Structure 1
Amino acid sequence: MNQSTNINIEPKQRNLMVAVMLIGAFVGLLNETLLATALPSIMQDFGIVENQVQWLTTAFLLTNGVMIPISAFLIERFTTRQLFITALSIFAIGTFIASISHTFELLLTARVVQASGSGIMLPLMMTVMLKVFPVEKRGAAMGMAGIVISFAPAIGPTLSGWLLEFFSWRGLFYVVLPIVIIAIIIAAIFVKNVTEQTYPKIDILSILLSSFGFGGLLYGFSSIGGGHGAGEVSTEIDSVALAIIIGAAIILTIFILRQLKLKKPMLEFRVFKYPIFSLSLIVTMIVLVALIGAETMLPLYMQNTRDFSALESGLMLFPGAVVMGIMSPITGMLFDKFGAKWLAVTGMLIVSLTTFLFTSLTIDTAYSFLVVIYATRMFGLSLVMMPVMTAGLNQLPPEWHPHGTAMANTMQQVSASIGTAILITVMTTAATNYQPNQTALEGLTESEAMNQIATNAAMDGYNAAFWLATILSVVGLSLSFFLKTKAKTELKY
């Protein structure tokens, strides 16, 4: 039989339902990067440094990474309507707490609560779309989802930069909260039950292993650069982080072995027996690192090193966000016609070249250069993200769609969180280890020399991080050649 939907739902009802779920997923994903341009002002308010403030992004991604594996179980246990409204409500509570946070610890807690809700919304939305759209229309449908998945994180820094001109960083949450409340009301009207309840048993051990395994791995990588201390990079902290990573890896190994033995696993690792799914997942993981990493580092570079305002920083990223939003439905239609391979190859080539151009940032790099290169980079990312993800999910039989989407989203959040943490660590380590050219400092006062050294060290850090991102992009480009064309990616069941 063709891998198509068995759901009887009128197109109008289907479209209204999908629209509501897209709004919910949009606000959830928007919050991955909404604080990007606000990080410098949060650092100032709470008296913290880069390695600490990056936890507001990392903790959000970390919690998503823990929640998403559980989402496959939740989708099979609860109705579509129950789960979506509950997830939105949890997200609303976290947003409210964030809006009244007066300490860094409370704000960090609020981000965790937010992500507990958003970590369910995205895999649920993707599972529903796979249910209600036949395979021949999934490219266009997932292209619409791509607007959310790629445009929401892309527009976050620009939106926050604009809002920070009028409000404090707390105003970012004041704006999001009413949107979420309205989405809950609309969801209660339009969201119908389309997922199947198989009522799997709650496997507490799997949930614990998943949480400690994924959570520990993300925490360990995020802490390598001193993220859980006072901003100091030391051998002791590195040793603790390494021990956490090794322990988490052991726990994850036990978790995977348990899932392979269970008749009804919480997360189906047998999806990896489909090679195109596995390959597409690796490529999209690299894309997420490229996307989130750049959106974290560039605002820091512009505001902390170049003294641009939050608005100017956000506006620099805006054309790229627009490009991503325009291209997502177009690439969906192109995927339906041509498949993922050559879209991915072209996109990763563009991403590799533009990321390389960011490895030579200076204190005098032109604003227009940043705008054009970033927008071009986002064009490349748009050619890769949804086509490759859809190609991978199309390989799976319908009964494994919840597990496929959960696995895909888990790995993407894990890679985005670890990737961002590693890039920030590379940036801070390179800056710390910077050796100044003493000859270039001759004739400067002590104050001028110190400022020059600090600036050059920061630039060295940003460029080192983008060198790592360039290497990852080239790896993604190489893997893209192994994807199949359309005729070879459609399976029949």
Structure 2
Amino acid sequence: MNAASSGSNASSVDLSKIKRGPIVFALIIGAFVAILNETLLGNALPDLVKAFEVPYSTIQWLTTAYMLVIGVLVPITAMLQQWFTTRQMFLAAMGLFFVGTVISAAAPEFGVLLTGRIVQAMGTGLMLPVMMNTILVIFPPEKRGGAMGLIGLVIMFAPAIGPTVSGLIMDSMSWRWLFILVIPLAAIAIIVSAIYLRNVTEPTKPKVDILSILLSTIGFGGIVYGFSKSGELGWGELEVYGTIAVGGLALLLFIWRQLSIKDPIMDLRAFKYPMFTLVVVLLFVLMMTLFSTMTLLPLFLQGALLMTAFKSGLTMLPGGVVNGIMAPISGKLFDKFGPRVLVIPGLALVVVALFLFTRIEATSTAGYVVFIHIVLLIGISMVMMPAQTTGLNQLPRHLYPHGTAILNTLQQVSGAIGTALFISIMSSGTKNYLKDNAANPAEPSPAEQVQGMVAGLHNSFWIGLAIAVLALLIGLFIRRTRAPEEQAKQAA
């Protein structure tokens, strides 16, 4: 079985009678529940430290393990989508997420809670690529922008309200309610999916290459784990640079393996299409900036402006809401005008926002931070889905699962790298400032600690600005694309 036959088999499903609206509705509900869950725990970590009597280095595994599982699982979803139907994949993903949520809500000890989070992450890791692949299959290229915009609304809006919702819950209820309240939402998502979701691809069941799965797990898992732990342990620890080195070596072997076997689990021949490759590089760079900014901003709000976790969540909420509103608008504009009129101005807004972030001080007002955050996320919304849709539109149908798996995997890796890089730059800048300016660097005063944090943040945002300028330069080369099938149809 080769790639070409995969494509033909996948397209043999009759899509003429498919009702797209209910399918998109089912996908959106599932995505919203799963992605909202990713940011719910942030404000609860201090309470969980007290509840389970474990140190922060241990409680951090609730987020590190989540990222790690998704980073390991997403690369093999392209292969899984060729073995199972759309309904089987999505319902299994939501089922895993539901079970993980129940386990987490009832957890009597930390180990059980961590197990629940891992099961949740397995569901999320399976679901996101299936969702994007389904959109690509059921919508023609000229209508994909609007559909991807709706998905973008969920992907950006859900994590934006997560910190606010969790802050509100933690102010008045137990941490368990973070999971209890998600259970009925997950159940509704399963019911809606079971009723409305239809199979849009036909399984071809290619040969499973166990060595590729092993190399993928070690490669992507080692890199995500190493960069995630660097913020906690520092770069000098063997656990950090050792796992990154092992992961990098395994990743090189994985790439070689995928290019040399007949049925790769992640078909890297997608990189033969130049606009897809350009978009992958662009989004890798952009997501480094986005993930790191989303990590640094709460630290500034709580550490420098002395806000509570709930208030910092409220401060970041307007940007997330505006981003969610902009996502479907950007999708419709993309369908009408193509990517350039959105991507280039969007990247310019990102550059402006990051420059403004380099100027923030401990005396900056919350309103000023809200304004910059809104500018940043408007820019991100003009780039994310239009760029992804442009890159995926150039791929032939049989490469859709592989293209979505590549994009989702590299976003997880870039998020881990970006967060670790920017946190380490901030920490180093803070230490250098206190060393040179504090009256007693070993025991700096609260005011000196705030100024040290601001100095470290400035260093991080300057690097972020440089990365954003690089993204803008890459974005200048983006063009509207057409799939090979569409080009062949027009030629005929």
TM-score by length of 2: 0.89
Looking at structure 2, the residues matched to 425 and 114 of structure 1 have their Cα atoms a distance apart, in angstroms, of: 29
Which among 136, 142, 150 is matched to residue 136 of structure 1? 142
Which among 62, 77, 80 is matched to residue 74 of structure 1? 80
Q: Residue 486 of structure 1: CA displacement? A: 6.2
Looking at structure 1, the residues matched to 459 and 100 of structure 2 have their Cα atoms a distance apart, in angstroms, of: 35
Q: How does 1:14-413 map to 2 (within 5 A)?
A: 14-42=20-48, 55-101=61-107, 105-227=111-233, 233=234, 235=236, 237=237, 239-413=238-412
Instruction: Determine helix, strand or coil for the equivalent of 1:111.
Output: helix
Looking at structure 1, the residues matched to 129 and 279 of structure 2 have their Cα atoms a distance apart, in angstroms, of: 17
Which among 436, 457, 463 is matched to residue 458 of structure 2? 463
Q: Which moved more, 1:50-59 or 1:213-222?
A: 50-59
Looking at structure 2, the residues matched to 341 and 53 of structure 1 have their Cα atoms a distance apart, in angstroms, of: 43
Q: Which moved more, 1:82-91 or 1:182-191?
A: 182-191
Q: Which runs of 5+ in 2 are unaligned?
A: 1-7
Q: Residue 172 of structure 1: CA displacement? A: 1.8
**Is the contact made by 1:162 and 1:314 (CA closer than 8 Å) also made in structure 2?**
no
Q: Which moved more, 1:46-55 or 1:271-280?
A: 46-55
What whole-Å deviation, never above 9, does each CA across 1:106-158 have from its counterpart, x for those lacking one? 44443322111101111101111111111111111111111122222233223
Opposite residue 159 of structure 1, the aligned amino acid is V
* CA shift in 2, pair 1:457/1:101, >3 Å: farther
**Is the contact made by 2:163 and 2:310 (CA closer than 8 Å) also made in structure 1?**
no
Instruction: Determine helix, strand or coil for the equivalent of 2:472.
Output: helix
Q: Residue 54 of structure 1: CA displacement? A: 5.2
Q: Which runs of 5+ in 1 are unaligned?
A: 228-232
Looking at structure 2, the residues matched to 137 and 33 of structure 1 have their Cα atoms a distance apart, in angstroms, of: 31
TM-score by length of 1: 0.89
Looking at structure 2, the residues matched to 427 and 105 of structure 1 have their Cα atoms a distance apart, in angstroms, of: 32
Opposite residue 186 of structure 1, the aligned amino acid is V
Looking at structure 2, the residues matched to 7 and 41 of structure 1 have their Cα atoms a distance apart, in angstroms, of: 50
* CA shift in 2, pair 1:151/1:112, >3 Å: same
Looking at structure 2, the residues matched to 102 and 421 of structure 1 have their Cα atoms a distance apart, in angstroms, of: 31
**Is the contact made by 1:222 and 1:422 (CA closer than 8 Å) also made in structure 2?**
no
What whole-Å deviation, never above 9, does each CA across 1:307-349 have from its counterpart, x for those lacking one? 3122211111111111111111111111112211231111111
Q: Which moved more, 1:119-128 or 1:105-114?
A: 105-114
Q: Residue 190 of structure 1: CA displacement? A: 1.5
Looking at structure 2, the residues matched to 362 and 26 of structure 1 have their Cα atoms a distance apart, in angstroms, of: 35
* CA shift in 2, pair 1:366/1:122, >3 Å: same
Instruction: Determine helix, strand or coil for the equivalent of 1:76.
Output: coil
Opposite residue 194 of structure 2, the aligned amino acid is A
Identity across the alignment (%): 43
Looking at structure 2, the residues matched to 202 and 490 of structure 1 have their Cα atoms a distance apart, in angstroms, of: 27
Looking at structure 2, the residues matched to 103 and 414 of structure 1 have their Cα atoms a distance apart, in angstroms, of: 30
Looking at structure 1, the residues matched to 81 and 295 of structure 2 have their Cα atoms a distance apart, in angstroms, of: 32
* CA shift in 2, pair 1:266/1:318, >3 Å: same
**Is the contact made by 1:391 and 1:489 (CA closer than 8 Å) also made in structure 2?**
no
Looking at structure 2, the residues matched to 490 and 196 of structure 1 have their Cα atoms a distance apart, in angstroms, of: 18
What root-mean-square deviation, in Å, do the aligned CA atoms of Structure 1 and Structure 2 show? Answer: 2.8
Q: Residue 405 of structure 1: CA displacement? A: 0.9
**Is the contact made by 1:62 and 1:417 (CA closer than 8 Å) also made in structure 2?**
no
Residue aligning to 2:5: none
What whole-Å deviation, never above 9, does each CA across 1:244-302 have from its counterpart, x for those lacking one? 21211111111111111111110001101111101111222233233332222222332
* CA shift in 2, pair 1:101/1:294, >3 Å: farther
**Is the contact made by 2:275 and 2:481 (CA closer than 8 Å) also made in structure 1?**
no
Q: Which moved more, 1:287-296 or 1:327-336?
A: 287-296
Looking at structure 1, the residues matched to 151 and 351 of structure 2 have their Cα atoms a distance apart, in angstroms, of: 25
* CA shift in 2, pair 1:192/1:340, >3 Å: same
Looking at structure 2, the residues matched to 425 and 99 of structure 1 have their Cα atoms a distance apart, in angstroms, of: 33
**Is the contact made by 2:396 and 2:483 (CA closer than 8 Å) also made in structure 1?**
no
Opposite residue 64 of structure 1, the aligned amino acid is I
* CA shift in 2, pair 1:77/1:383, >3 Å: same
Q: How does 1:377-456 map to 2 (within 5 A)?
A: 377-436=376-435, 438=437, 441=439, 449-456=444-451
* CA shift in 2, pair 1:234/1:203, >3 Å: closer
Looking at structure 1, the residues matched to 421 and 92 of structure 2 have their Cα atoms a distance apart, in angstroms, of: 33
